[in-house]
């Protein structure tokens, strides 16, 4: 049970001690309770609210939050920034020229390479006049809501460790992911759904699989839950064949009755009561999760807005609609993977850049634009922080003697955020004229994490968890600043 | 700061509103936990004194201030101006200036106070950063006024010879443990809970010692055994049962972050990791003395007598995560060392040495230098592997020496040929298209080479290539004809001349500071003159049957220090672990941390007594197990009076036995035992339980690294489940199986909806419910009452009561009437309910 005095004076579900006693209905429980309260210094005439809480219930943030939910659109494999949102006019006409440029990717450290000129045309959009490539014509319509971060850097240009870095702030496995931290700091607004949901690409999970949404050294209840748009949305949620919902109810009734008989003579044990409650919660979840993923409730216009009516964009479109539906139902952290498995099933464009990026941008551009538009028209964008990006970007030069494939680049890449109190129409930081590395205001993944926590009303330098002798933090031991330029 | 306290998760209150009993229980639970929580908070924060009369606690209030603001210049390593603030003697001595920093009882004469309060910036201490806060100054002032005592944290002192306390009711006590428990209860006017009934006891002991339930026959035999020593005989029998190692071995595997893969992108297999697991199980079963248990893991390759067993123990070094493709290889190397220092520090010593990687430990007297002095002990430990050679460093060939030599010779020839052939291949590959080049970096290499190699080589080159290829095949064939090799996971290769070790400034491998030699940590209380020198390394030990490398001996020296009878930390740490796993919590709850950020022991004298006892019994863990199991304290009922619960809500006093939920492994094994499937084959390769396709779908290559096991293998005990870091089967993870990557001192105990879903609808339980009901059908008559009798006996290892019959009848009738289930289906549904009940999952 977590207690955080710095989170402010939380009342227990807003109730005072007296109401509590009254509601518990007298008998031994209430009497014992009264005694305990007195022993703990909650004086008998005190009417001050009790200062602790149900760890799975919503917790009060450290300060007024800008965002209530996060949707992280994870472009797994690493999209090329200079082919999408980081406009490099100086590269035009430089195709195939060999230049001196320091790069570091899976192919190791190199000092020169053959330029692969950005393969898509850029145009200006919005009042801010942002240059966006033809890969994202629909997202481009929303640049005035988007804050672009062009000088992102990460500690590793290798998928395994870079994925862990983007998700957990560390290049080593074993630490909780960002969603776990948010679940831990804020709890879940809707207890009938998991507070931290991950939706994978149909081609497969990202490398390292569940490590990417692990709760590390925290309890497993803070880990991400994989939610599927097809079949049973959550593992073991569906009853086995031959078991109706009514039968499941009778089974649970039976279990609960046996458990109550068992608990009657064991009043001092709290787990027993919690377990009774957990079956009720499971039963609730069996109706609320399928309801949450039921796209039958969406209009044709909405389906079309997200591209859910076209084969190319159907899968990501549907998952974007689900993301919005989960936000509406109080889920705190939703992560969507674009791309899965290996090679060209994700954004890892080592071979044919054009084929790869046309495929993945093509599958996501309309859905993402639809999501931004829909969130906005429903008044949800202000309280929903949308993040777009991969674990790193890609190099300006070719990986091989022939072809347009680019290797990984963690020296400089682009991510963007929208909604959730982020200043739209802005671009922060730059890379050099080839996009090789961050030049102006380099920002680390940790700054991004700090910004997310900050927008959610959590101080990134105070949200800590005691483990292994240290107050562990998502952003590590050093003081890390959120990216103030993009916070409105 | 949020601190997680290991307490059950409490769920939605709104759901409970309709259920007054549950609500009541829940409320009780909240307040029960609150008590310990508040107590916990109180000891953790530096509390400023509110009244001058309140005694200042040096360790809790003063040392953190000195450590953070003063020790960098006036501490263990530097004594600027002749001032060392780490001990009473040095802090009260005359400094170079002639003044005294601290004059006990006279704060106005103490230069320290004058300097920290000085308004003259050039005079004020500390010279950099902000000045001390008013409350910090107040603490230091009061502390000096009270005599400036440098009392030491309990664990940074030698163990005491403890007198067993006197008690008012010695008749309650079976052995000295009980006197320690009872004296505290008597001081609070509390009566210990009564003796648990025999059925409760036998279940408690079976699960505790073996991790499985007793059969109904075993329960009945014990219940009807009227002899006085029935309990003692049962305990002695179980302590010799080989299934004990499977239960207690798993406790140790939690500490050493046991897993069989490397994590990261490929999450590759650690071949033969299971042999280390089996070594642990065997060690526990044979009651290997703990000092030897530790020594073999740390230095099994450096002993006078090296055996396959002691080499297997060095698997300890190879269990951690390993990135085969690190972005920064040097950093990764030191991350590996950090993993070792972390696990060895917390696991063996209960010290969070890892906190001193980047700077001096903020609270405990562990300077950064000591962290690297610890690293230096491990400097001959090679990296787990390299990407091109996954085995040489970690697979110890323990086959017959002559065969080994022949194989080594052939292997080196193959390696030579491979290198030559690869050069030719690469010369062709660079001329290929980008797509083909990319394909050669993966599994497509063979195909591309087959199709295109000849195209990009001259005829002469290709002919040479073919010649080498044939040669290689020939050698490979003769290698195949050699007898099978046997390997164990461990230190297959070490650095014969370990590189020098330096303090790394801010933990950065690029910033080397002072050189350090291996030396023992943390016993010095910051006084460098007390730093123990490492004895001359043992070299050229004899009988090194299985490796030929020269012995450095550092790790053996470390093991000698750790396992010395008078080491302050080791015996306390393991004694506490043993206690924790019997009673559900340690005598201090933070078992991996007996430093000042850890929890205070509730029974410090008992802890030292137990630790002393362990050492006196030549580190026999079973002697301590026996002592604990035979104590009255262990045999108390979990039920007690409401008055006692109110007085001791968190059971800090051990006024009763604490109920507990089964661990993930116990639960799975119990289900198998109930269905009659449980297969007691000991040791050997791990097995793969069935995992739902949805779970495999989370992998980048669904099913990769997850094998198929026979049905009988899948019915083996859970300790033999293959532990793959990126894919822990849900039936383990949802019931709080520890994180695989970091040392785990105590498992969480969560209660969550996912557990209910898994136990109601999951693959494993669904299958087992069918087997369970089939077993009932085979053992009982066709009468429902008889079936219920058998089912209850199998699930709960007790006789069925009239209430059980009534409950079953009512429920099964509902299954029939409301859901149209036939008699067999009704029974199966009832069996499923039994497997879900708290009586099945919880121990009294």
Would you kindly state where each structural domain of chain A is located, as residue ranges? 1-53, 69-229+293-486, 245-286
Instruction: Name every chain A residue with its beta carbon within 8 A of the beta carbon of B691.
Output: none
Please state the φ and ψ torsions of residue A387, each to the nearest 5 degrees: -120, 135
Contact of B643 with chain A, judged by CB distance below 8 Å, is answered with: no
Q: Cβ of B327 and A254 within 8 Å? A: no
Residue B423: is it exposed, middle or buried by C-beta count within 10 angstroms (0-12/13-18/19+)?
exposed
Instruction: Tell me whether residues B762 and A236 touch, CB distance under 8 A.
Output: yes
Q: Which residues of A touch B5 (CB under 8 A)?
A: 1-2
User: B499 with B383, same domain?
Assistant: yes
Q: Which domain holds residue B429?
A: 401-481
Q: Any idea which of B307-321, B521-535, B542-556 has the lowest mean pLDDT?
A: B521-535
For B45, which residue in chain A has the nearest alpha carbon?
A: A5
Q: Which pLDDT score, from 0 to 100, does residue A266 have?
A: 84
Least reliable range by pLDDT among A389-403, B353-367, B532-546: B532-546
The pLDDT of residue B5 is above 60:
no
Cβ distance B10 to A260 less than 8 Å, yes or no, reads no
For residues A402 and B539, the model is more confident at A402
Q: Are residues B383 and B295 in the same domain?
A: yes
Supply the ipTM of this predicted assembly. 0.86
Least confident of A11-20, A180-189, B555-564: A11-20
Closest chain A residue by Cα to residue B752: A278
What kind and span of H or E run contains A196? strand A196-199
Looking at the partner chain, which of A228, A244, A340 has a beta carbon nearest the beta carbon of B700? A340
Q: How far apart, in Å, are the Cα atoms of B574 and each of B280, B591, B613, B633, B802?
A: 15, 9, 12, 20, 46
Contact residues, chain B, for A159 at CB < 8 Å = 265
The pLDDT assigned to A253 comes to 97
Contact flag B742-A174 (C-beta cutoff 8 Å): yes
Integer Cα distance of B250 and B738 in angstroms: 11
Mean per-residue pLDDT for B286-307?
A: 95
* pLDDT per position as a tens digit, B630-646: 999 999 999 988 889 88
Task: State how beta strands A196-199 and A225-226 pair.
Answer: parallel
Q: Which of residues 327-386 of A touch B (CB under 8 A)?
A: 340-343, 350-352
**B325 to A258: CB separation less than 8 angstroms, yes or no:** no
How sure is the predictor about A272, in pLDDT bands with cuts at 50, 70 and 90? confident
What's the pLDDT score for residue A56? Answer: 57
Q: What is the pLDDT of residue B521?
A: 64
Q: Which pair of structure tokens corresponds to residue A304? A: 């079309």
Q: Do A260 and B433 touch (CB under 8 A)?
A: no
Question: CA nearest A69: which of A380, A447, A319?
Answer: A380
Assign B86 a pLDDT band (cuts: 50, 70, 90): confident
pLDDT > 50? residue A336 = yes
pLDDT category of residue B678 using cuts at 50, 70 and 90: very high
CA B826 from centre of chain: 43
**Selected residue of B357, B795, B838, B842 to mutate for chain A interface (largest A Cβ count, 10 A):** B838
Q: Mean pLDDT check: name the lowest of A25-29, B68-72, B296-300, B474-478.
A: A25-29
Alpha-carbon gap, residue B489 to B685, rounded angstroms:
13
Ranges A42-51, B296-305, B362-371, most confident: B296-305
Strand, helix or coil for residue B780? coil
Residue A272: closest CA among chain B residues belongs to which residue? B838
Average pLDDT over residues B793-804: 96
Closest Cα in chain B, distance from residue A307 (Å): 25
Half-sphere exposure of A264 (CA within 13 A, CB side): 6
Nearest by CB to A161, which of B327, B743, B758? B327
Question: Are residues B837 and A284, on separate chains, in Cβ contact within 8 Å?
Answer: no
Contact B327 A158 (CB under 8 A): yes
Of B31, B438, B815, the CB nearest to A400: B438
| pLDDT of residue A9 exceeding 80 | no
What is the residue-averaged pLDDT of chain B?
A: 88
Beta bridge mates, A75: A338
Residue B689 to residues A5, B696, B713, B732, B771, Cα–Cα distance (Å): 44, 12, 9, 11, 16
Average pLDDT on B533-549 reads 48
CB atoms closer than 10 angstroms to residue B729: 25
Q: How does residue B33 score in pLDDT terms, banded at 50, 70 and 90?
A: very low
- B188 contact A CB<8A: no
Residues 100-159 of B with CB under 8 A from A: none
Q: Are residues B304 and B377 in the same domain?
A: yes
Q: How many C-beta atoms surround the C-beta of residue B91 within 10 A? A: 23
Domain end residue (candidates: B151, B167, B189):
B151
Question: Do B382 and B517 have their domain in common?
Answer: yes
Task: State both tokens at A30.
Answer: 């209430």
Return the higher-pLDDT residue of A323 and B399: A323
Q: How much of chain A exceeds pLDDT 90, in percent?
A: 80
pLDDT score for A41: 30
Q: Tell me whether residues A56 and B11 touch, CB distance under 8 A.
A: yes
Q: Where are the beta strands (DSSP E) in B767-843?
A: 842-843
Name the least confident of A306-315, B518-527, B566-575: B518-527
Q: Which of residues B134, B151, B168 is at a domain's end?
A: B151
Half-sphere exposure of B468 (CA within 13 A, CB side): 18
Q: Chain B contact for A276, CB < 8 A?
A: yes
Q: Which pLDDT does position A209 carry in this prediction? A: 95
Which one has a higher pLDDT value, A118 or B402? A118
End-to-end CA distance of chain B: 35
pLDDT value for B549: 54
**Residues B294 and B376 both lie in one domain:** yes
Range with lowest mean pLDDT among A16-25, B375-384, B393-402: A16-25
Find the closest chain A residue to B335 by CA distance.
Answer: A172
Name the residue in chain B with its Cα closest to that of A342: B700
Q: Total structural domains in chain B?
A: 5
- B675 torsion bin: left (phi>0), alpha (psi -120 to 50), beta (else): alpha
Spatial separation of the C-alpha atoms in residues B810 and A67, rounded to whole Å: 51
Q: Let me know: does B318 contact B336? Beta carbons within 8 Å.
A: no
Mark whether B448 and B504 lie in a shared domain. Answer: no
User: How many residue contacts between A and B have a Cβ separation below 8 Å?
Assistant: 430
* Residues B409 and B538 both lie in one domain: no
Between B121 and B803, whose confidence is greater? B803
Interface of B with A in 764-793 (CB under 8 A): 766
Verify whether the Cβ–Cβ distance B700 to A207 is below 8 Å: yes
**pLDDT value at residue B589:** 93
Superfamily of domain A69-229+293-486: Alkaline Phosphatase, subunit A (3.40.720.10)
Strands (E), B372-531: 395-397, 487-489, 501-504, 512-516
Between residues 192 and 211 of chain A, which touch chain B (CB distance below 8 Å)? 200, 204-211
pLDDT value at A54 more than 90 = no
Average pLDDT over residues B180-207: 97
Is the pLDDT assigned to residue A53 strictly greater than 60? no
Q: Does residue A28 have a pLDDT over 90?
A: no
The pLDDT score that the predictor gives to residue A34 is: 31
Q: Give yes or no for residue B365 having a pLDDT over 60.
A: yes
Across A21-25, B13-17, B159-163, least confident range? A21-25
Tokens 């001092």 map to which residue? A268
- pLDDT > 90? residue B795: yes
Last residue of a domain, one of B451, B481, B511: B481
Chain segment A123-182, per-residue pLDDT in tens: 999 999 999 999 999 999 999 999 999 999 999 999 999 999 999 999 999 999 999 999
pLDDT band with cut points at 50, 70 and 90 for residue B52: very low
Q: Which region among A262-271, A367-376, B39-48, B222-231 has the lowest average model confidence (pLDDT)?
A: B39-48
Q: Does residue B246 sit within a domain?
A: no
The Cα–Cα gap between B831 and B284 comes to: 35
Tokens of A115: 């330029």
Predicted confidence at residue A190, as pLDDT, reads 87
Is the Cβ pair B327, A217 closer than 8 Å?
no
Residue B90 within any structural domain of the chain: yes
Contacts A351 to B, Cβ<8 Å: 434-435, 438
Give the chain B residue whose CA is nearest to the CA of A246. B819
Q: What angle do CA B292, B297, B303 make, to 5 degrees?
A: 65
């Amino acid at each position: 049970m977590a207690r955080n005095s710095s989170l402010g004076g939380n009342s227990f579900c807003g109730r005072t001690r007296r109401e509590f006693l009254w509601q518990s209905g007298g008998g031994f429980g209430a009497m014992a309770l009264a005694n305990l309260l007195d022993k703990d210094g909650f004086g008998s005439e005190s009417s001050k609210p009790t200062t602790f809480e149900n760890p799975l219930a919503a917790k009060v943030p450290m300060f007024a939050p800008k965002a209530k939910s996060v949707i992280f659109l994870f472009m797994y494999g690493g999209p090329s920034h200079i082919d999408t949102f980081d406009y490099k006019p100086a590269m035009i006409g430089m195709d195939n020229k060999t230049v001196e440029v320091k790069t570091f990717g899976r192919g190791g450290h190199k000092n020169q390479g053959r330029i692969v000129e950005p393969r898509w045309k850029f145009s200006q959009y919005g009042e801010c006049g942002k240059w966006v490539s033809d890969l994202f014509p629909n997202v481009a319509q929303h640049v005035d809501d988007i804050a672009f971060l062009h000088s992102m850097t990460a500690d590793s240009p290798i998928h395994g460790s870079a994925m862990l870095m983007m998700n957990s702030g560390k290049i080593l496995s074993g630490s909780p992911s960002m969603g776990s931290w948010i679940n831990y700091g804020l709890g879940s607004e809707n207890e009938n759904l998991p507070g931290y949901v991950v939706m994978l690409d149909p081609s497969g999970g990202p490398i390292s699989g569940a490590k990417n949404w692990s709760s590390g050294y925290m309890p497993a209840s803070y880990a991400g839950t994989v939610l599927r748009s097809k079949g049973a949305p959550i593992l073991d949620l569906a009853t086995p064949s031959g078991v109706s919902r009514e039968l499941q109810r009778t089974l649970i009734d039976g279990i609960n009755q046996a458990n109550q008989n068992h608990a009657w003579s064991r009043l001092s044990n709290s787990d027993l009561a919690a377990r009774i409650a957990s079956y009720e919660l499971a039963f609730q979840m069996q109706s609320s999760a399928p309801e949450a993923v039921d796209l039958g409730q969406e209009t044709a216009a909405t389906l079309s807005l997200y591209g859910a009516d076209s084969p190319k964009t159907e899968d990501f479109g549907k998952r974007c609609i689900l993301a919005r539906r989960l936000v509406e139902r109080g889920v705190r952290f939703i992560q969507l993977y674009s791309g899965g498995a290996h090679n060209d099933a994700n954004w890892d464009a080592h071979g044919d850049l054009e084929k790869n990026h046309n495929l993945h941008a093509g599958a996501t551009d309309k859905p993402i634009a639809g999501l931004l538009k829909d969130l906005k028209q429903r008044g949800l964008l202000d309280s929903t922080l949308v993040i777009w990006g991969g674990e790193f970007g890609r190099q300006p030069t070719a990986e091989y003697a022939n072809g347009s494939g680019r290797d990984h680049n963690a020296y400089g890449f682009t991510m963007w955020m929208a909604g959730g109190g982020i200043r739209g129409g802005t671009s922060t930081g730059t890379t050099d004229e080839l996009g090789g590395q961050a030049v102006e205001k380099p920002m680390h993944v940790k700054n991004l994490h700090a910004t997310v926590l900050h927008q959610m009303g959590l101080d990134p330098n105070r949200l800590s968890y005691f483990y292994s002798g240290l107050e562990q933090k998502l952003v590590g031991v050093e003081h890390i600043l959120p990216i103030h330029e993009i916070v409105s | 700061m949020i601190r997680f306290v290991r307490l059950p998760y409490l769920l939605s209150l709104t759901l409970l509103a309709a259920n007054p009993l549950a609500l009541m229980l829940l409320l009780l639970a909240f307040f029960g936990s609150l008590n310990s929580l508040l107590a916990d908070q109180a000891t953790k924060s530096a509390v400023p004194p509110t009244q001058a009369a309140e005694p200042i606690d040096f360790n809790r209030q003063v040392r953190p201030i000195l450590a953070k603001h003063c020790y960098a210049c006036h501490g263990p390593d530097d004594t600027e101006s002749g001032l060392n603030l780490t001990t009473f003697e040095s802090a009260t001595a005359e400094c170079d200036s002639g003044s005294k920093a601290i004059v006990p009882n006279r704060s106005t004469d103490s230069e320290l106070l004058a300097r920290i309060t000085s308004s003259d910036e050039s005079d004020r201490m500390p010279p950099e950063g902000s000045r001390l806060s008013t409350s910090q100054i107040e603490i230091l002032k009061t502390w000096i006024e009270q005599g400036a005592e440098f009392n030491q944290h309990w664990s940074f002192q030698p163990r005491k010879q403890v007198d067993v306390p006197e008690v008012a009711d010695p008749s309650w006590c079976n052995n000295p443990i009980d006197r320690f428990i009872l004296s505290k209860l008597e001081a609070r006017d509390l009566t210990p809970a009564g003796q648990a009934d025999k059925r409760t006891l036998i279940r408690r002991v079976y699960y505790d010692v073996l991790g499985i339930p007793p059969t109904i026959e075993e329960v009945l035999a014990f219940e009807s055994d009227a002899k006085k020593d029935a309990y003692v005989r049962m305990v002695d029998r179980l302590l010799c049962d080989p299934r004990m190692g499977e239960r207690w071995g798993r406790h140790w595997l939690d500490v050493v972050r046991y897993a069989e893969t490397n994590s990261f992108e490929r999450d590759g297999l650690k071949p033969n990791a299971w042999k280390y697991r089996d070594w642990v199980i065997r060690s526990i079963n044979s009651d290997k003395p703990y000092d030897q248990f530790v020594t073999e893991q740390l230095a099994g390759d450096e002993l006078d007598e090296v055996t396959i067993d002691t080499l297997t123990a060095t698997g300890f070094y190879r269990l951690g995560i390993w990135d085969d493709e690190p972005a920064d290889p040097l950093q990764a190397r030191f991350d590996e060392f950090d993993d070792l220092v972390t696990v060895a520090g917390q696991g063996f010593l209960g010290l969070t040495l890892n906190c001193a990687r980047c700077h001096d430990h903020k609270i405990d007297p562990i300077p950064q230098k000591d962290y690297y002095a610890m690293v230096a002990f491990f400097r001959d430990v090679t990296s787990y592997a390299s990407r091109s050679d996954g085995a040489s460093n970690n697979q110890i060939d323990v086959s017959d020496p002559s065969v080994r030599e022949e194989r080594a010779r052939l292997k080196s020839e193959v390696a030579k040929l491979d290198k030559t052939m690869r050069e030719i291949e690469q010369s062709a590959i660079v001329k290929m298209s980008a797509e083909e080049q990319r394909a050669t970096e993966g599994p497509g290499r063979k195909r591309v080479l087959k199709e295109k190699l000849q195209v990009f080589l001259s005829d002469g080159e290709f002919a040479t290539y073919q010649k080498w290829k044939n040669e290689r095949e020939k050698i490979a064939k003769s290698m195949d004809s050699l007898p099978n090799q046997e390997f164990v996971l461990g230190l297959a290769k070490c650095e014969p001349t370990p590189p020098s070790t330096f303090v790394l400034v801010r933990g950065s491998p690029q910033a080397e500071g002072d050189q350090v030699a291996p030396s023992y940590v943390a016993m010095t209380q910051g006084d460098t003159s007390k730093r123990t020198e490492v004895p001359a390394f043992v070299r050229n030990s004899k009988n090194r049957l299985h490796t030929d490398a020269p012995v450095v001996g550092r790790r053996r020296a470390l093991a000698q220090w750790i396992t010395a009878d008078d080491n302050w930390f080791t015996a306390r740490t393991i004694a506490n672990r043993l206690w924790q796993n019997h009673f559900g919590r340690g005598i201090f709850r933070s078992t991996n941390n007996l430093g000042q950020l850890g929890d205070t022991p509730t029974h410090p004298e008992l802890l030292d007594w137990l630790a002393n006892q362990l050492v006196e019994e030549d580190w026999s863990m079973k002697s301590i197990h026996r002592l604990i199991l035979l104590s009255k304290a262990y045999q108390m009922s979990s039920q007690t009076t409401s008055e006692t619960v109110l007085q001791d809500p968190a059971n800090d006093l051990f006024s009763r036995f604490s109920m507990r939920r089964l661990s993930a492994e116990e639960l799975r094994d119990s289900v198998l035992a109930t269905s009659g499937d449980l297969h007691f084959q000991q040791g050997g390769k791990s097995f793969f339980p069935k995992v739902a396709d949805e779970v495999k779908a989370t992998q980048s290559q669904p099913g990769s690294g997850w094998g198929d096991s026979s049905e009988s293998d899948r019915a083996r005990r859970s300790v033999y489940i293959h532990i793959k870091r990126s894919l822990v089967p849900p039936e383990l993870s949802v019931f709080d199986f520890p994180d695989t990557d970091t040392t785990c001192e105590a498992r969480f105990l969560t209660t969550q909806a996912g557990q209910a879903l898994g136990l109601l609808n999951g693959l494993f339980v669904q299958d087992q419910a069918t087997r369970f009901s089939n077993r009932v059908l085979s053992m009982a008559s066709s009468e429902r009452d008889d079936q219920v009798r058998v089912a209850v006996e199998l699930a709960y290892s007790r006789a069925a009561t009239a209430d059980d019959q009534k409950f079953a009848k009512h429920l099964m009738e509902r299954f029939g009437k409301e859901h149209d289930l036939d008699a067999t289906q009704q029974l199966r549904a009832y069996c499923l309910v039994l497997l879900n009940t708290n009586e099945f999952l919880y121990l009294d």
